[in-house]
Amino acid sequence: MHNHLADRQQITDLLTGWMHRDLGEWEQLRGLFHPDGTIEITWFEGLASDFVDGSMRMGASDIRTKHLIGTPVVTFNSSVNRAIVETNAMIIGGECEAESGDGDP
């Protein structure tokens, strides 16, 4: 029987890697994806590299997000060398603008 502990940890690291997007760590976010990888989420479908570029543009705005990722449940199917992962996620977002004491934004 194969011990999947290292595989489980790598999968968890990929899921929690969304923190890089929240922190504006673009190269670390880019490193989560295969160079030819694709992604499909609520606001984007296409190459992962284009997703990171779009995230960078969003990161330059006043909109801030926080991704909260639950503990994943990982089920391994060794006969096809595949894993199924399920987790809960919550995205908190808001637009922030602050003013200094003199009224300037």
pLDDT of residue 78: 85
More confident position, 42 or 1: 42
Residues 6+ positions from 2 with CB-CB distance below 8 Å: 76, 78
Q: Which CATH architecture has domain 5-95?
A: Roll (3.10)
**For 48-92, what is each residue's pLDDT tens digit?**
999 999 999 988 887 788 989 999 999 999 888 899 999 999 989
Q: How far is CA 1 from CA 10, 11, 79, in A?
A: 19, 19, 12
Question: What pLDDT shows up at residue 1?
Answer: 56
The larger pLDDT score, comparing residue 99 to residue 36, is at: 36
CA–CA separation, 57 and 40 (whole Å): 18
The residue extents of the domains of the chain are 5-95
pLDDT at residue number 72: 93
Query: pLDDT by residue (tens digit) across 17-55?
Result: 989 999 999 999 999 999 999 999 888 999 999 999 999
DSSP state of 34: -
Q: What is the pLDDT of residue 99?
A: 73
Tell me what pLDDT residue 83 has: 94
